[in-house]
Amino acid sequence: MKKFASAILAVVTLVLCFTLSACGNKYVSRYNATLMVRTNTSEKASVSFDSFSGTYVMHLKNNGSDEAFIAYEGTLREGNIKVYYDFNGEKLNLFDIGTDGSVDGKTETFAGNKTIYIIIESDGKCRDGGFSFVLNKSEK
């Protein structure tokens, strides 16, 4: 009976190790938040919160070979947040936002069938913020 229980425990441990690990995810979300609402599809991502501290990762997918860019906007009532993006394996600063700040703009043009990561990082506790990102096809 002890051998059977040990075998079951070993199998469960292996299954948990594989399912709980972040295999395949380049970036990992680690945050504390209250009243956080988030959406993430292949072409749109948004997040809004009452309070937030940590790192939150979203991803968009440029399907096909068409060129595309990301239009973004955001507001923050209190705190400091840095937003980065990664398209070709390099984490680049997209924008910084501080207390009572707002931002809107667009990224460079992307080409290729790839995932674009958006990484939101706070340097402490932030309050009353919201960010949205939309993948748009470039006009030719």
Break the chain into its structural domains and give their ranges.
Answer: 26-137
Tokens of 16: 């948990």
Residue 5 has pLDDT above 70, yes or no: no
Question: To the nearest whole number, what is the mean pLDDT of the chain?
Answer: 86
Q: What is the pLDDT of residue 102?
A: 96
Query: What DSSP designation does 110 have?
Result: B
Model pLDDT for residues 34-53, shown as the tens digit of each residue:
999 999 999 999 999 999 99
Model pLDDT for residues 77-118, shown as the tens digit of each residue:
999 999 999 988 889 999 999 999 999 999 888 777 788 999
Query: Bridge partners of 101?
Result: 76
Query: What DSSP designation does 139 have?
Result: P
Q: Which CATH class is domain 26-137?
A: mainly beta
Query: What DSSP designation does 10 have?
Result: H
Please say whether the beta carbons of 114 and 105 come within 8 A: no
Q: What is the pLDDT of residue 88?
A: 80
Strand boundaries in the chain, DSSP class E: 30-34, 37-40, 44-62, 68-78, 81-86, 91-97, 101-106, 114-122, 126-137
**At residue 127, what is the residue type?**
R
Please say whether the beta carbons of 101 and 75 come within 8 A: yes
